[in-house]
Each structure stands twice: as structure tokens, then as C-alpha cells.
Chain A
Amino acid sequence: MKNTYVIKRIFYSLFVFVVVITLNFFIPRIGVVDPAERYYPPQGNMSEIEYEIIKQVTRKQYGFDVSTWQQYLNYLHGLSKGDLGKSFRPGSPAVIDLIVERLPWTLVLSVSTLLIGLIIGVMFGVVAATKRGRWQDTLLLNASTIMVAIPGFFIALMLSFYLGFELEVFPAYTDSNMVANFDWSLAAIRTVAYNAALPVLSMAVGSIIGHAQGTRNAVIAVTNEDFILTAKAKGLKQNTIRYKHILRNSMLPIVTSLGMSISGLIGGQVVIEQVFNWNGMGTLFLEANNTNDYPLMMGIMLLLSGFTILAILITDLVYVLLDPRVTVGDKR
């Protein structure tokens, strides 16, 4: 039965993916998407006829000369070959090239935040869980309720102001040369770390508290389980119980949440990237939006959605396949 479930899940994911591709293709077309208009607004000194000819040629070069349905089919065809289309930028660079260029930079921020959040957060969470009801726990609770009310970009702005402008501990804005001068040398890496400090810090606070709260609740729930009681009765050491049984069992929801957060990982925090002028996927998307670069926008959205689908699929399958206690029921 599990195998049929796996197959069903995979097909379902494909179905969702196709629907997402379609939505992704048609939604921007509600507005005006004509590359010819974008390239050649003024007629200049040309006659109407010549102007029309040239616009037609441009449309042809971007594949806009056929009907919308045909464009859709061409788009699907391109996707199967891994081609996300050509951006409207001068020189028509391939969308996938632009994305690949910026993706690592976003990952630098996201992965750092994730690691810091996980490591410190889990530790805090366990501490809060074991000291349940005492000041550590209350502190965490208060911190979480306050943290969720503060928008992330506000923290980013305040950090940028105080640590960046006033105290000059870290740069308030990312150095433009950082990307261009990067050459894997130690100095370059240190520059990146130096510039990344504030963005990561802004995101890490929320991440730490989130993971801490999650871990705490998971640990508390698991601690109340019978099998833990059994382990205690058996006389196992405190630490063994803690790490071997409690933590391992409570990891599962954390892992699930990681899967879900993949799109956030890759898409990056758009607003925080903008505050610090960090050139990652987030700012790439904003650039595309500001210049009405539809192929680029669609490409990024598709990529993010695709990764999310993949992550959810994998998480679900890992769940089902690895945890022998879970039987297959209806989808939640």
C-alpha cells in the first residue's frame, strides 16, 4: 500500500506542478506583455508601415507572434528542455542564466540563517522545555509573542541604522563590488561575511525564536509520552533519554517544517535583501517587476514553486517511508 501511495503522491505533485505552470504563464498576461512595445516606444522617424514590420520582427524573436495558446505550448516545450525563456533585458540573456548568477548569494543568506536558527534555536528550545515553567520558558514565550508582531524588515532597518550608520560596526549597505570581486580568496570570503552579517542577523532572530518554540513544544509533547516514562522507569540516564529518545522523536516536525520552508530559502527574503541592497534572488525579482520583465518574473516564480512542490513531496515521502508507525490515510 505504501508503494501505491508513493506513486499517487508523485503523480499528484506533477499535476500540481502543471497547474502551477499554467497559472504562472497566464497570470502576468492579464496585463500588457508585448516586448515590441517595450523596446520601441517612440516611432522616431519611421513610417507606420516600417514601424509595424519591425515590431512584428521583435515579437517573432521573442516568440510573441503566435497565438497565446501556441505560446503556452512553446513555453511547455521549452521547459522540458530546461529553458525558462529569454529576459526582456538588452541582449536578451536567458532567464536561467540570470537566476543562476544570483541564486548562490541568496543561499548564502538563507543557509546561514537556517544554520544559526536551527543550532541555537534547538538548543534554546530544549533548555526551555526542560526548564518548563521557569524563567527560561517564560522568556522564550514572551520573546516569541513579541517577535511575531515585529515585521522582519523593521528589525533590518533598525539594525542597519544602529549597527550600520551610527556605530559603524557593520556596513549599512552591501558593498556593490562584493559580487564582482569575489574570487574565493579568504579576503573575499571575509568581505562576504562582513556584508552578510546584518541581513543574517535580522533574519536569524526570528528564525532562532521560531525554531526554539517549535522544538520546545515538540520536546514537551514527546516527554509526556509513555515510552519516555518507560525509559525513565528503566533507569536510563537523563542525557540518554534526552538525546536518544526525546530529541530524535521531536525532530520529525522540525524536519517537516524545513521542507516547507525551501521556497523561502531559495526565494530569499525579498524585503530584507532590498533593505540591505543585497543582490540575490529577492532583488532580482524586484528588478524584474520594476522593468516589467515578464519572462524573468515568471521564471523565478516557477522555480520557487517547483522547489516547494519537490520539497513537500520529498518530505511527505520521507515521512511515510521512514516512520513505520505512520499508516497511510487520507490527505490532511
Chain B
Amino acid sequence: MKKKLPIHHGMARGIEKRLKNTGLFIKRIWSHKQGKIGLTMVGFLVVVAIFAPYIAPFNPYDVAERTTKGLPPSSKHLLGTTINTGQDIFSMLVYGTRVSLIVGVTSGICIAIVGSILGVAAGYIGGLVDSLVMRIVDIMLVIPTLPLVIVLTNVLGRDYWTIILIFVALGWTGLARTIRSLVLVLKNSNYVKAAELAGASRWHIMIRHILPGTSHLLIMSTALSSAGIMVAEAGLSFLGLGDPTAISWGKMLAEAQRGGALLFGAWWWILTPGIGIFLAVFSFMRLGIVMEEIMNPRMQRSSGVYKVFKNLNSAYVEEVFNSMDDYAKIGVTPAFEHGKGEVTHETGLKA
């Protein structure tokens, strides 16, 4: 018989309620000022990705549908054709949505899974596990990410699943740290203590109490990491290190540059994939911020941008906000009046 532990604390109750009402959740996103934009854009991209074969006039993977190289935009080819292969650029743009979205979202979800497991384990179990995980995080923080990704694609191969694996392997650290800080707070909350007293096993507590407590962070992080990974994947493909057979926006930019778009003045070839990347990243970010604001009404709007910066690739900006963010999370004001790692017990979830 499943033992249902009494859930007392208003906060935990609130979270559970929110989680249960996903339909209500989406409605709430919609009613949020920025939520409309985010949701529409993400929805639009997903639709384009799914219905790509119907939306695109040509199939860029089909070699038989190639035509004259280097055509400028016309009614037949909305964005013209590529200079080096004669593929329809507009169709490539549409099909590129698939790759970007799949890579981004899959990586985001996997990062959320790995980061949450390790973060919860480190925070709750503490001791050796905590040390180990945090040491690994420290080490990975030090190695420069882009060169490491390049080396790994060199030795491990370049198909998209390997690349997703590499991104996940390098991207879980930030989330794990954040989750861990949160778990340290949750660990001391009443309902968890009650569960421990009632004799619930560690696993049970971690999965049924702590993990749900971090759920809003996870969902938001999925959205934001997806955005970040999309940029990273675009960069990797641009360097020519992505999957050579798939069509992605980054690769379109790479081909544009290498095929001489700049020399030929084919600005539409360069502009459109960039806009695509921008739209995808922007919309996912918006969605992530909106989701966080809903789940955490105490968080001010400006600090949403903290999260935005934190989860993207620019390490330096990450650390700016990290140093401030840690304090916000654990309830310490940024004037460094308290010690660097101490936790005050009264704080709620200011994450």
C-alpha cells in the first residue's frame, strides 16, 4: 500500500496543485503578458517542424529536386537557390526547423534529467556524493567548452545523436549546481523532515518530495537550455563540425559563407537562417521566463533575465549572475553581508 505522507506546508501544496493542473498551467501562460508571444512562437515553430514536407515547396534532401545554382529570390524560389548545390533555400529553412528543434529540445530534456538527478543526489545525500559531483562540476567549469566539444566530435564522431550526447555531457553542470542549492534549502523544510521522521526511504523522499519541489526549475531550465543548445549547435555546424548530411540552420550559414554568398551578394541566404535561429532561441527563452514567473510570483521580472543569461553559453555573463544569484537563492542580499555559502533557513524558494 502506498503511504501517502501528510503534506502540510503551503508551498509544497501549492506546487502539487500547479503540477496537477497542466491545462490550467497553459492557460495561465497564455494569460501572462509575455506568455502569449512565447507560446505562439514556440507553437508556430513546432508546427513548421512537424508539417515541413507540406509547407516546403521542395524537398531539399531529394537530389532530384535540385535546380540551377545561385538563383536570386523569385516567386518559384522564395529565397532563391544555393550557389553550390542548387537547393531551394526556403525549403532548407523549413526543414532546418526540424533539426534545430529536435537537437535543442532533446538536449534540453536530457540535461534536465541528468542535472536534476545529480543535483538532487548531491544536495540531499550529501557527503561523498556531494563532493564527487561538485568536484566534477568544478573541473568541467574550468575546461573551455567549445574546444572540448570540437575535440570530442573529432574523436567520437559527428552524427547528431553523438552531438546531443556531447552537449548533455557538458551542459548538466549549471543545472546541477542550481538544483543542489535548492535542494539544500528544501532539505530543511518541515514536510521533508516529517517524511524522514515517518521513516520514508531516501529514494522515496528524493523522488516524491524533493524532485517535485524542483519541478518548476526543471521545466524552466529545459526551455532555457534548449535555447542555449540551439545556439551552440548552430555554432558547431557553422564551423563545419556538425552532422554533414542533415540540414540545419547553422549548416546553412556555414554553406552560405563557404559557398561565397558574401562574394555573390546573396544576403537572403545569410539573413534567413540567422533569423530562424533567433526566433527559435527567443521564443524558447520567453517561454522559459514566463513559466518561471508563473511558478514563482515572488520573482521580479528583472531577475528573469538572470536566468536567461545563466543558461546560455556566455560563461562570463553566467558568472556575473551566478554570484548574485546564489545569494538571491539562499536569501542573502548581494551586499555580501553574509558568508558566501551559508544558508538561512527562513527563505522560501527565491530561485
Contact = CB atoms under 8 A, between A and B. Distances in A.
B142 A30 contact: no
Interface in A239-293: 249, 252-254, 256-261, 263-264, 267, 270-271, 274-275, 285-286, 289, 292
Interface string B134-152: 1100110111101110111
Contacts of B135: 16
A213 B235 contact: no
A24 B231 CA distance: 25
A233 interface: no
A328 B339 contact: yes
Contacts of B302: 141, 217, 220
Contacts of A330: 341-342
B316 A285 contact: no
A332 interface: yes
B139 A16 contact: yes
Interface string A163-175: 0111000001000
Interface in A155-213: 157-158, 160-162, 164-166, 172, 206, 210, 213
Nearest to A19: B139
Contact of A23 (B143, B241, B271): B143
The B interface, classified by DSSP as helix, strand, loop or mixed, is helix
A295 interface: no
B315 interface: yes
A27 B336 contact: no
B124 interface: no
A84 interface: no
A154 interface: yes
A135 to B, nearest CB: 16
A36 interface: no
Interface string B265-283: 1010011001001100110
Contact of B317 (A210, A297, A323): A210
A146 B231 CA distance: 13
A312 B142 contact: yes
A280 B328 CA distance: 39
A270 B139 contact: no
A151 B277 contact: yes
B159 interface: no
A158 B341 contact: no
Contact of A327 (B238, B334, B339): B339
B132 interface: no
Interface string A316-332: 00010001011111111
B274 A323 contact: no
Interface in B312-329: 312, 314-321, 323-324, 326
A253 B334 contact: yes
A332 B314 contact: no
Contact of B339 (A16, A289, A329): A329
Which of B271, B305, B312, B342 has most A Cβ within 10 Å?
Answer: B305
Contacts of B277: 149-151, 154
Q: How large is the interface on B (under 10, 10 to 19, 20 to 34, 35 or more residues)?
A: 35 or more
B323 A161 contact: no
Contacts of B154: 28, 31, 289, 292
B95 interface: no
Contacts of B62: none
Contact of A20 (B139, B303, B335, B339): B139
A289 B151 contact: yes
A112 interface: no
A96 B261 CA distance: 37
B156 interface: yes
A161 B148 contact: no
Interface stretch (A42-50, A71-79, A86-94, A302-310): A302-310
Interface string A13-56: 00010011001100110110000000000000000000000000
Contact of B340 (A162, A164, A328): A328
Contacts of A146: 278, 282
A149 B224 CA distance: 11
Contact of B231 (A151, A157, A213, A258): A151
B42 interface: no
Nearest to B228: A148
B278 A30 contact: no
A149 B227 contact: yes
A150 B144 contact: no
A20 B305 contact: no
Contacts of B303: 217
Contact of B319 (A164, A260, A297, A301): A260
B319 A331 contact: no
Given A261-B315, A270-B239, A301 B334 contact: no
Which of B181, B231, B234 has most A Cβ within 10 Å?
Answer: B231
Which of A144, A166, A263 has most B Cβ within 10 Å?
Answer: A263
B172 interface: no
Given A149-B278, A154-B253, A308-B142, A249 B335 contact: yes
10 cross-chain pairs, A with B, having the tightest CB-CB distances, nearest first: A261-B316, A31-B155, A329-B341, A329-B339, A260-B319, A257-B320, A154-B274, A149-B282, A330-B341, A149-B281
Given A225-B335, A300-B147, A305-B142, 20 more contacts: A24-B143, A141-B305, A145-B282, A145-B305, A149-B277, A150-B281, A153-B235, A157-B257, A213-B317, A217-B321, A220-B302, A222-B334, A257-B320, A261-B316, A271-B146, A297-B147, A327-B338, A327-B339, A328-B339, A332-B181
26 contacts: A20-B139, A27-B152, A149-B231, A151-B238, A154-B274, A154-B277, A157-B262, A158-B274, A160-B262, A165-B265, A172-B262, A210-B317, A217-B321, A260-B316, A263-B144, A264-B316, A267-B147, A271-B238, A308-B142, A312-B141, A319-B340, A326-B339, A327-B340, A329-B340, A330-B342, A332-B326
Interface of A: 16, 19-20, 23-24, 27-28, 30-31, 141, 144-146, 148-151, 153-154, 157-158, 160-162, 164-166, 172, 206, 210, 213-214, 217-218, 220-222, 225, 227, 249, 252-254, 256-261, 263-264, 267, 270-271, 274-275, 285-286, 289, 292, 297, 300-301, 304-305, 308-309, 312, 319, 323, 325-332
